[in-house]
C-alpha cells in the first residue's frame, strides 16, 4: 500500500494496527512495537527478567527442532503461555541464564519470525522491533525516546497488536488492545503524542479501563481459554504493569536485551 493511502496512518508519528494484514496497510515505520499480551510478548519480557533470550517460531511450521539446535545455546520448543506460567509460578528455569528459549505461537511469534526473515533478506531500512507488554510498557516508551535522541530526529512508531488468528483472519483481542494502548499512553506521557485515531482510541481504552485490566484480561476469551488450560499464573503475570525496565529487541533471529 502506498504511504498516502487512507489506512496507512502515514501522517501520524504513532500508529496502531492488527496482525500481518494490518502491518501491510501501514506506512513503513522506524520502530515496530509488537504486542501479544497473552502470551508471546509477555513471555519474551518475562524471559528477559530471568536472563533468557527468546527466538520466535511460527506454531506448526516444520523445522523448529533443527532451528533450536542451530542456536547453539538454545533449548527445545515451548509454548509461550505454559512457559510464562512456569516462570510466574517460580518453577525451575528451563535453561541456564544467558540461554535462548524457542517459543512458538500462531500470532506474536509468527509475526516476529516474519520480521527476522525480512531483516535477514537484507533490508537496510528494517525497523527496530521491540517486544512490549504491560510489564514493560513505560520502559518501551523510554527506549523509543532514547532512540529518537540517538538518531536526532522524530521516529515513526507502529504499535502492532497480534490479535488472535482464526479461520477468517485476525480476531480482535481485548488484552492486546489494552496492552497496545498502554504503550501509546506511555509514549504520550513522554511527549510522543502525535497519534493516529486508531492509536488514540487504543490509548483511551487503556486510560479508561486501567483499574480493571487484570479482570478484563482474565475474563476475555483468551484469558478464559488459558485459565482452562491451567496456566493462570501466566495470565496474572500479563496483567502486572510497569514491573521491569527491560526491553527485548529483535536482533537477528532472537529477542535480546542490551
pLDDT in tens, 20-65: 999 999 999 999 999 999 999 999 999 999 999 999 999 989 988 8
- Predicted confidence at residue 4, as pLDDT, reads 67
- Predicted confidence at residue 3, as pLDDT, reads 58
The answer to whether position 3 is within a domain reads no
The answer to whether position 124 is within a domain reads yes
Using CA atoms of 78, 236, 49, 132 in order, give the dihedral in degrees to the nearest 10.
80
In order, the DSSP letters of 72-85 are SSEEEEE-HHHHHH
The answer to whether position 164 is within a domain reads yes
The answer to whether position 7 is within a domain reads no
The answer to whether position 4 is within a domain reads no
Using CA atoms of 128, 134, 138, 142 in order, give the dihedral in degrees to the nearest 10.
-10
CA distances from 23 to 39, 52, 133, 195 (A): 20, 28, 19, 16
- Cβ atoms of 249 and 255 within 8 Å: the answer is yes
The answer to whether position 1 is within a domain reads no
The answer to whether position 242 is within a domain reads yes
Average pLDDT over residues 121-137: 89
The answer to whether position 8 is within a domain reads no
Report d(CA 176, CA 236) in Å as an integer.
15
- Predicted confidence at residue 51, as pLDDT, reads 95
Containing structural domain, residue 226: 14-256
Backbone dihedral region of 7: left (phi > 0), alpha (psi from -120 to 50 degrees) or beta? alpha
pTM for this one? Answer: 0.95
Q: Which of 74-83, 113-122, 136-145, 170-179 has the highest mean pLDDT?
A: 136-145
Give 189-231 pLDDT, tens digit per residue: 999 999 999 999 999 999 999 999 999 999 999 999 999 999 9
Overall number of domains in the chain: 1
For residue 80, pLDDT beyond 60: yes
Q: In sequence order, which residues have a C-beta less than 8 Å from that of residue 184 and are 6 or more positions away?
A: 14, 16, 159, 195, 199, 200, 202, 203, 206
Give 90-110 pLDDT, tens digit per residue: 988 888 888 999 999 999 999
CATH number at residue 191: 3.90.1560.10
Amino acid at each position: 500500500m502506498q504511504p498516502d493511502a487512507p489506512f496507512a496512518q502515514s501522517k501520524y508519528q504513532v500508529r496502531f494496527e492488527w496482525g500481518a494484514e494490518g502491518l501491510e496497510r501501514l506506512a513503513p515505520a522506524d520502530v515496530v512495537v509488537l504486542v501479544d499480551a497473552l502470551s508471546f510478548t509477555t513471555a519474551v519480557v518475562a524471559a528477559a527478567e530471568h536472563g533468557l533470550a527468546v527466538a520466535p517460531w511460527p506454531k506448526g511450521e516444520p523445522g523448529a527442532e533443527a532451528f533450536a539446535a542451530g542456536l547453539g545455546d538454545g533449548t527445545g520448543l515451548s509454548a509461550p503461555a505454559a512457559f510464562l506460567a512456569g516462570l510466574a509460578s517460580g518453577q525451575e528455569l528451563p535453561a541456564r541464564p544467558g540461554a535462548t528459549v524457542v517459543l512458538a505461537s500462531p500470532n506474536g511469534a509468527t509475526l516476529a519470525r516474519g520480521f527476522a526473515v525480512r531483516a535477514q533478506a537484507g533490508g537496510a531500512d528494517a525497523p527496530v522491533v521491540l517486544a512490549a507488554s504491560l510489564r514493560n510498557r513505560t520502559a518501551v516508551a523510554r527506549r523509543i525516546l532514547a532512540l529518537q535522541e540517538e538518531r536526532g530526529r522524530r521516529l515513526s512508531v507502529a504499535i502492532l497488536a497480534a490479535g488472535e488468528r482464526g479461520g477468517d483472519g485476525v480476531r480482535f483481542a481485548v488484552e492486546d488492545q489494552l496492552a497496545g494502548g498502554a504503550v501509546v499512553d506511555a509514549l504520550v506521557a513522554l511527549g510522543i503524542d502525535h497519534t493516529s485515531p486508531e492509536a488514540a482510541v487504543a490509548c483511551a481504552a487503556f486510560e479508561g479501563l486501567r483499574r480493571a485490566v487484570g479482570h478484563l484480561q482474565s475474563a476475555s476469551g483468551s484469558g478464559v481459554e488459558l485459565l482452562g488450560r491451567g496456566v493462570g499464573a501466566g495470565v496474572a503475570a500479563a496483567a502486572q504493569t510497569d514491573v521491569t525496565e527491560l526491553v527485548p529487541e529483535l536482533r537477528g533471529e532472537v529477542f535480546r536485551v542490551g
